[in-house]
């Protein structure tokens, strides 16, 4: 089910609210009646002050967290009605993530990190997995770091591995939470160039949280999260 007649919508929310119960019966209002509509293959940036709820919103949109009320439609499925296993099944192979702090598995090599989402997938043939992962690492410029553990990679290299892992299953949508937040300007610019390049190549829908207004302005739509809602920036 979608809330508009437009079947080109990858992600849509209606009256989305997130409150966190606090001690003594009070609650913290993070998101209130938030609406968002994201078309397939477009890019959306979300900026906002620290603590405004950007990471909370991404977690909800990706089905990692559940709203207090309101609805979220991802690929025409109302994820607020799905249980955790059903949400995980919907994400598998269709939703990618990139985080500020890379979130690679410490004990796995770069190659094994990138192979992981394909090993979890039911649609990729096991004989193809290694080849696809090597090709993904080549596409982010790391053909000679396959056996490196994350701790032996620079921050920029770790984020390249994270990009390869995110795109290797060719997700329909990618959520990125401050993907350049832990990188210097030059390395961050390289990561963004790669990210936009892969997004265009695979026609991925991109929802990116960032503190960088220049970067946000490169996306098709730029929202600011303020007063618990999204406001379009001109």
Ligand X SMILES: Nc1ncnc2c1ncn2[C@@H]1O[C@H](COP(=O)(O)OP(=O)(O)OP(=O)(O)O)[C@@H](O)[C@H]1O
Q: Please give the residue ranges that form the binding site for ligand X (CB under 6 A).
A: 20, 28, 30, 48, 50-56
**Smallest distance from the beta carbon of 51 to ligand X, in angstroms?**
4
Q: Which does 53 bind (CB under 5 to 8 A by kind): Mg ion, ligand X, none?
A: ligand X
In this structure, what token pair is assigned to residue 217? Answer: 């302005």
Q: Which residue, among 171, 111, 174, has the nearest Cα to 138 in the 3D structure?
A: 111
Q: Which does 30 bind (CB under 5 to 8 A by kind): ligand X, Mg ion, none?
A: ligand X
Q: Which is nearer to Mg ion, 12 or 178 (CB)?
A: 178
Q: Which is nearer to ligand X, 141 or 181 (CB)?
A: 181
Q: Which is nearer to ligand X, 145 or 228 (CB)?
A: 228
Q: Which is nearer to Mg ion, 46 or 115 (CB)?
A: 46
Q: Where are the alpha helices (DSSP H) in the chain?
A: 54-61, 84-91, 110-120, 126-139, 155-167, 185-202, 213-217
In this structure, what token pair is assigned to residue 137? Answer: 């690492």
55, 109, 205, 210: which one binds Mg ion (CB under 5 A): 55
Q: How many residues bind Mg ion (CB under 5 A)?
A: 1
**Smallest distance from the beta carbon of 222 to ligand X, in angstroms?**
15
For the chain, count helices (H), then strands (E). 7, 10
The gap from C-alpha 170 to its chain's centroid, in whole angstroms, comes to 13
In this structure, what token pair is assigned to residue 18? Answer: 């997130």
Which helix (H) or strand (E) is 13 found in, with range? Answer: strand 9-21
Q: Which does 7 bind (CB under 5 to 8 A by kind): ligand X, Mg ion, none?
A: none
């Amino acid at each position: 089910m979608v809330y508009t007649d437009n079947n080109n919508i990858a992600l849509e929310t209606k009256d989305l609210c997130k409150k966190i119960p606090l001690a003594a019966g009070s609650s913290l209002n993070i998101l209130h009646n938030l609406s968002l509509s994201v078309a397939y293959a477009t890019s959306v940036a979300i900026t906002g002050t620290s603590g405004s709820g950007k990471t909370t919103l991404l977690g909800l949109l990706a089905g990692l967290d559940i709203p207090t009320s309101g609805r979220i439609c991802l690929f025409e499925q109302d994820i607020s009605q799905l249980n955790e296993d059903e949400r995980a099944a919907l994400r598998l192979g269709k939703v990618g993530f990139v985080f500020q702090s890379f979130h690679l598995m410490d004990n796995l090599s770069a190659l094994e990190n990138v192979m992981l989402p394909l090993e979890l997938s039911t649609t990729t043939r096991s004989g193809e997995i290694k080849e696809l992962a090597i090709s993904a690492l080549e596409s982010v410029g790391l053909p000679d770091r396959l056996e490196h553990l994350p701790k032996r990679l620079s921050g920029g290299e770790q984020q390249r591995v994270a990009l390869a892992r995110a795109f290797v299953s060719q997700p329909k949508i990618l959520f990125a939470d401050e993907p350049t937040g832990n990188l210097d300007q030059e390395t961050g610019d390289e990561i963004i160039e790669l990210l936009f390049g892969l997004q265009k190549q695979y026609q991925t829908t991109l929802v990116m949280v960032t503190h960088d207004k220049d970067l946000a302005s490169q996306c098709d739509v730029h929202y600011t999260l303020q007063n618990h809602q999204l406001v379009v920036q001109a």
